[in-house]
Amino acid sequence: MFESISEKFERAFKLLKGQGRITEVNVAETLKDVRKALLDADVNYKIAKTFTEQVKEKALGQNVLTSVSPGQLMVKIVHDELTQLMGGEMTEINLKGSPAIFLIAGLQGSGKTTFSAKLASFVKSKRGKNPLLVACDIYRPAAIDQLKVLGEQVGVQVYTDEGNKDPVSIAKKSIAYARDMGHSPVIIDTAGRLAIDEEMMNEIANIKKSVNPQETLFVVDSMTGQDAVNTAKAFNDRLNFEGVVLTKLDGDTKGGAALTIKSVVNKPIKFVGIGEKLDAIDVFYPERMADRILGMGDIVTLVERAQEQYNEEDAQKLQRKIAKNQFNFNDFLSQLQQIKKMGNMKDLVGMIPGMGKALKDVDIDDNAFKGIEAIIHSMTSKERETPEILNGSRRKRIANGSGTDITKVNRLIKQFENTRKMMKMMGGGNKNKMMQMMKNKGIM
């Protein structure tokens, strides 16, 4: 995510490395590269120019502390300005109403239907709501069937009125149904077109007028850059929507839409799509996104995702097993499965500060754990519970059963043993010894 602009920002800040103080000359050189990085990321020229002027004004007005280098200060100023450019702070969705109503709008292919299902899953699992999905796209072939399939996958009911060719009527009926059945929010998936046209705008405007939604959310493909921004402006001029949803952000190496859409339409980005899975949706935090753009990682989001998968009781049980050196392959397999639920592997590792750059040209396959899982599943229950009994003949049988070779089985067992030692030391509180072992064994 945003690899291109992150690299260019890093190169720009290198100009200040080793400088004793901030001067108009070295700031001008740095900001020339920052402006170029923004333009290459498909940011509007006027916005890029205003951005760098604001950074320059703040940089030249600051006294550099002896403990802070000019480069570090410039990174902080740029970080703060990027945060403001993208909206300043997170904006929560409005779930008040009986029922609350969300109208989903956007061009065809932007990911409206998938986002509708993701939003339903989000409010159900994270906000404890009982949502209703509504199929109002009566034009695109199989659009209703697609929403039904997605609704089933996330465990949310889908309201349809097949045979009814009036989207306004379908939307109004769905609200009455939701009130009767206790659903809230109602998420209305509308039809898109390949391009903005008057008929589409009239239809969505009429639906909005008839159901009076708490929020109209505009869904747009972030990878289309300035086209996304221009489309958002056209929709906002007509619909006056409450928020933006950027889909396919995980594939966006430039970041132009994320950086500029707020300043153009003056509406917050509320959600970002970060993958194909139906839980691959994040609330948009401008400050965290600025962290990632500047290569600082996103530890807060990483911790939040981990907390969603681990409950305190399970963590305490695991802690006790580690302290007693009883951590086994069943626990190891459980941990792998929990990590997989947290999301795309490269995205997760990229949230660790400094790792985004290190992984630039590394392809981390989401199926990377399959070989490990196959080896563990080829073990007997007793072998998983007591790894100490894994002698040569057992390892050979496991290799044959998992379709791999003895070298990979030996490597996994060795890594497991090292991990168990490290966890035992961590659980026992001997952190100095643990760190020394990590250095000696190369566990890092």
What are the boundaries of each domain within the chain? 3-85, 101-296, 302-441
Same fold, 3-85 and 302-441: no
Please tell us whether the domain made up of 302-441 is placed in CATH 1.10.260.30.
Answer: yes
Q: Which CATH code for domain 3-85?
A: 1.20.120.140
Low-confidence ranges of the chain (pLDDT < 70): 1-2, 15, 17-22, 61-69, 252-254, 296-315, 342-368, 424-444
Half-sphere exposure at residue 337, Cβ-oriented, CA atoms within 13 angstroms = 10
| The pLDDT value given to residue 178 | 94
3-class SS at 134?
strand
Distances (CA, A) of 61 to 9, 42, 57, 64, 352: 21, 29, 6, 10, 32
d(CA 379, CA 410): 13
Quick one: tokens of 380? Answer: 């007997």
Per-residue model confidence as pLDDT tens digits over 167-181: 999 999 999 999 999
pLDDT confidence of residue 430 = 46
Domain 101-296 maps to which CATH number in 3.10.20.600, 3.40.50.300, 3.90.1150.10, 3.30.70.1450?
A: 3.40.50.300
Environment class of 41 (CB within 10 Å of its CB; exposed 0-12, middle 13-18, buried 19+): buried
100 token code pair:
């609350």
Q: Is the pTM of this model over 0.85?
A: no
Contact 9, 78 (CB under 8 A): yes
Q: Is 282 exposed, middle or buried (0-12, 13-18, 19+ CB in 10 A)?
A: buried
User: What is residue 343's predicted lDDT score, i.e. its pLDDT?
Assistant: 64
Pick left, alpha or beta for residue 430 (phi over 0 → left; psi -120 to 50 → alpha; otherwise beta): beta
28, 56 in Cβ contact below 8 A? yes
